[in-house]
Amino acid sequence: MIKFFKYFTIILTFFGLTISTAYSDPKKVGFIYIGPPGDHGWTYMHDQGRIHMENQLGGAVTSTYIEGVPENADAVRAIRKLASSGHDLIFTTSFNYMDQTLEVAKEFPNVMFEHATGYKRADNVSTYSARFYEGRTIIGHIAGHLTTTDTVGYIASFPIPEVVRGINAFYLAASKVNPGIKIKVIWAFTWYDPGKEADAANTLINQGADIIVQHTDTFAPCQAAEKAGVLAFGQASNQEEFCPNAHLTAIEDVWGPYYAARAQAVVDGTWSSTETWHGMDKGMVVMSPYNAKLMSADLIQEAINMEVAIKDGSLHPFAGPIYNQAGELVVPEGQNADDGMLAGMNFYVQGIDDELPQ
Amino acid sequence: MTNLFPSIVSRPQSSNIMNILVPIIAIILTLITGAIIFSLMGFNAFFALHIFFISPISSAYGISELLVKATPLALIAVGLAFCFKNNIYNIGAEGQLTMGAIFGGGIGIYFHDTNSFWLLPLMIIGGAIGGAVWAMIPALLKNKFNTNEILTSLMLVYVALLILDYLVVGPWRDPEGYSFPKTRPFSDSGRMPLLFEGLRIHIGLIITLILVFISWFVFAKTIFGFQLKVSGFSPIAARYAGFNQKILIYIAFGICGAFAGIAGLAEVSGPIGLLYRDISPNYGFTAIIVAFLGRLHPLGIIFASLIIALTYLGAEDAQLFMQIPAAVGFLFQGLVLFYLLGADFLVKYKLEFKKSK
């Protein structure tokens, strides 16, 4: 028995030493994921960002993550665990970690926190998000050209501003090239549920949609579209390999450069609390390669031209005049919707034949 | 020549000592299997088990977190024992928890700018009523139409979750929350007071311990507890003895729902502080494992809730320090249940290799 304890202590000391020698020098960066990195969507792209950051900074940082953290009281413990185990910088990568991130940040003033897609900040809490809606403008334009039934199916997650903004940007661009286009929206009330997402896609296809757009995390809708012989857009990452005959393009979230820059700031001691909302111009939103099997060369060129115009600011996804469903002018002609309106957007634009869940 | 397949023979009498030992054997077998799995994954088994089961509770904060996690599990599991002892398979505790959070939390949201000592007790009562009302539906359906309570109680879980969804997206949404799906925070007097400064363990622990003790008293010392047991063992005998099975069903469901409702309210007014759609990490379902692991006995349930809570915490530490996927935690829960049911079976039955004629 004594022998056993000796053995046990030796092993523990050994591991203790390796951990302390290996991690004493580089900065530790921790990530909280809502799903598994293998979702090939939202979490996958954050994990790609983490790997990019490690490669960029070489030995200056090490990183760890905790996956599948529910957006409830458990999140506090998971975030706190990262903070109390010597992490210097912590990224919490889902909206509903907001209050939990702030709660832990208050207790660890010397640890830096970065919360994705939230709006509450503190001295040691930054927020960051991407202007995904810029990509919605481009896929709206493509859908307007390609639909033959004039019906697009849209799988939405939650009626939060980010998602509503995406639907509006999509519709504004689509109706510009095809004024008769209709959007059918299904609210899945989930970010990650392959079964539910596929069901929603099939329902929309049965209702006559010949293009499927999604604001959920998996490639299940795209696969459902492939099976039914209709078109689809990927979400968060390039999902073409899962549905090569349906996938037109995808709106990719590219976090790597941001993560590398923020980690570098911690290494250099220059980190400060900021609010970041980057789009295509900074490379945080990227369009996947356009599918030449499904799109004409002209249409691909139009999409690329739109990317350029969005980057240089000559095309704004929310350029006036924009009316809401009640017919009231919300953005006058000659103006663009400001970030305040975009951040809190909770209305549909005129022409969308759906009611926002209230 | 012996038969290849043994026949299953019921033991005339199952040993009392074995009945108590079964959960312990199941846990030991789980640890051994876990050690083998960790070794196959290329980790040192002792180190891995240490990370999994010791390191999460090696600080005051860790112990407090264990109790935060174990408290709702124990409370719901004790409530479930009222049903399971009577052979009523209420597996909808998650829905009853959600309804408790809605009723109690609704009171908290209505009085969000009130600071008064009566607010929290009112919310707790609301939580109990909410859970009990939701549990009455499968009870009523079973008594009136003889429906299968496993199905009805389970389906009502999803109904409850959708109602919560509707409320936080719609009428109860925080008007200052940028239309994100969550409610206003409760006022300070609508929150469970913390037991220690800086730790998250709250007064819900005390409430749970009191309710568990009362349950033990009811099971062991009252005629009602006896009635539950008898009608569980033999409904016909119970009917001859003049017990009203229908009333027992209402009461068992009611108590179970009330306990789950209080657990739900304690979760939202404890660590969370407001309502949103993702309030429970499936406590209502996990509590079923806890109830059986604890042999439906209040004391056993307390131990079982601590062990299952530890598998959650251990899974987080294992990810952090060993980069092991989160699913390993669920693997341990599954292993415990698997060995428990297996050992249970072997206590009641034995395998005989009979010589064929």
pLDDT tens, position by position, B29-43? 988 998 998 888 888
Most confident of A186-190, B1-5, B130-134: B130-134
The DSSP element (H or E) to which A154 belongs, if any, is: strand A151-156
Backbone angles phi and psi of A324, in degrees to 5: -85, 180
Higher pLDDT, A1 or A130: A130
Residue that wins the pLDDT comparison between B168 and B352 = B168
Please report, for chain A, the start and end positions of each structural domain, with discontinuous segments joined by +.
25-130+255-278, 133-245+287-343
Read off the CATH number of the domain in which B198 is found: 1.10.3470
Residue B59 is assigned to a structural domain of this protein: no
pLDDT for A24 equals 44
**How far apart are the CA of B53 and the nearest CA of chain A, in angstroms?**
14
Task: Give the nearest partner residue to A11 out of B47, B317, B326, using CB atoms.
Answer: B47
Q: Which two tokens stand for residue A208?
A: 């006559």
* Over residues B243-264, mean pLDDT: 93
Q: Please give the residue that has the higher pLDDT: either A299 or B350.
A: A299
With contacts defined as CB-CB under 8 Å, which chain B residues touch A161? Answer: 178-180
Q: Which of residues 224-263 of B touch A (CB under 8 A)?
A: none
The rounded mean pLDDT for chain B is 88
Distance from CA of A76 to the nearest CA of B (A): 9
Please tell me the predicted confidence (pLDDT) of residue A7. 52
Position B208 pLDDT exceeds 90: yes
Whether the per-residue pLDDT at A355 is higher than 80: the answer is yes
Domains held by chain B: number: 1
pLDDT higher than threshold 70 for residue A1: no
Phi-psi sector, A356: left (phi>0), alpha (psi -120 to 50), beta: beta
Residue B289 has pLDDT above 70, yes or no: yes
Of B170, B180, B320, Cβ closest to residue A160: B180
The whole-number average pLDDT for the span B7-26 is: 78
Q: At a CB cut-off of 8 Å and minimum separation 6, what does B49 contact? A: B31, B34, B35, B38
Of B272, B273, B316, the CB nearest to A78: B316
Mean pLDDT for the stretch of residues A126-135:
96
User: Residue B328: is its pLDDT beyond 70?
Assistant: yes
* Res B72: pLDDT: 96
Per-residue pLDDT at B246: 87
Q: Is residue B256 part of a domain?
A: yes
pLDDT-based confidence at B2, cuts 50/70/90? Answer: low
**What pLDDT, on the 0 to 100 scale, is given for residue B354?**
66
Is the model more confident about A54 or about B337?
A: A54
At residue A358 the predicted structure's pLDDT band, cuts being 50, 70 and 90, is: low
Q: Is the pLDDT of residue A255 over 90?
A: yes
Cα A278 from Cα A128, distance rounded (Å): 8
Per the DSSP assignment, residues forming a β-bridge with A122 are A125
* pLDDT tens digit sequence for A263-321: 999 999 999 999 999 999 999 999 999 999 999 999 999 999 999 999 999 999 999 89
Mean pLDDT, range A343-354, rounded to an integer: 89
- Backbone φ and ψ of A66, nearest 5°: -120, 125
| H or E element at residue B166 | helix B149-169
The string over B264-282, giving b where at least 16 C-beta atoms fall within 10 Å of a residue's C-beta and e elsewhere, is bbbbbbbbbbbbbbbbbbe
B301, B212 contact by CB (below 8 A): yes
How near does any CA of chain B get to the CA of A160, in Å? 5
Mutation to test the A interface, candidates B202, B319, B328, most A Cβ within 10 Å = B319
Domain A25-130+255-278 = CATH 3.40.50.2300: yes
Res. B3 pLDDT band, cuts 50 70 90:
low
How many Cβ atoms sit within 10 Å of the Cβ of residue A290?
19
pLDDT of residue B278 exceeding 90: no
In a domain, B275, yes or no: yes
Which range among A226-235, A347-356, B189-198 has the greatest average pLDDT? A226-235
User: Nearest chain B Cα to A63, which residue?
Assistant: B320
Whole-number Cα distances in Å, B123 to A10, A331, B172, B211, B317: 52, 44, 16, 17, 34
Cβ-contact B79, B256 below 8 angstroms: yes
Contact between chains at B277 and A8 (C-beta distance less than 8 A): no
Out of A19-28, A220-229, A334-343, B38-47, least confident range: A19-28
* Bridge partner residues of A29 (DSSP): A63, A89
pLDDT of residue B232: 79
The answer to whether A25-130+255-278 and A133-245+287-343 have equal CATH topology is yes
B118-147: average pLDDT: 95
Please give the residue of chain A at the shortest CA–CA distance from B162: A189
Percent of chain A scored above 70 by pLDDT?
93
Write out the CATH class of domain A133-245+287-343: alpha beta
Which residues, other chains included, contact B257 with Cβ-Cβ below 8 Å and sequence gap of 6+?
B79, B93, B96, B99, B100, B131, B132, B133, B134, B135, B136
CA distance A42 to chain B (A): 18
pLDDT tens readout for residues A152-198: 999 998 888 899 999 999 999 999 999 999 999 999 888 888 899 99
For residue B279, what are the domain limits?
Answer: 68-351
Q: Which residues contact A256 (CB under 8 A, 6 or more apart)?
A: A48, A49, A51, A52, A53, A56
For the residues B121-127, what does the mean pLDDT come to? 96
* Chain A residues within an 8 Å CB radius of B68: 73, 77
Confidence of residue B124 (pLDDT cuts 50, 70, 90): very high
Distance to chain A for B14, nearest Cα, Å = 34
CB contacts, 8 Å: A64 with chain B: 319-320, 323
- Whether B47 maps to a domain, the answer reads no
Q: How far is A304 from chain B (nearest CA, A)?
A: 33
* Angstrom distances, CA of residue B322 to CA of A80, A334, B34, B47: 17, 56, 15, 10
Among the listed residues B337, B279, B265, the one whose alpha carbon sits nearest the alpha carbon of residue B308: B337
Torsion angle of C-alpha atoms A154, A157, A158, A160, degrees rounded to 10? -70
Q: Which residues of chain A neighbour B267 with C-beta distances below 8 Å?
A: 72-73
| pLDDT at A291 (0 to 100) | 95
Interface contact B326, partner A, CB < 8 A? yes
The pLDDT value recorded for residue A169 is 97
How many C-beta atoms surround the C-beta of residue B197 within 10 A? 5
User: What is the sign of the dihedral through the CA atoms of B190, B192, B195 and B200?
Assistant: negative
* pLDDT at residue B8, as a whole number: 78
Strand pairing report for A125-130 and A151-156: unpaired
Helix, strand counts (H, E) of chain B:
13, 2
Domain-embedded: residue B30: no
Residue B63 within a domain: no
Tell me the chain B residues in contact with residue A99 when contact means C-beta distances shorter than 8 Å.
Answer: 273
Q: Does any CB of chain A come closer than 8 Å to the CB of residue B54?
A: no
**What pLDDT, on a 0 to 100 scale, did the predictor assign at position A15?**
47
| B169 close to A (CB below 8 A) | yes
Half-sphere exposure of A183 (CA within 13 A, CB side): 32
Asked if the Cβ–Cβ distance from A11 to B46 is below 8 Å, we say: yes
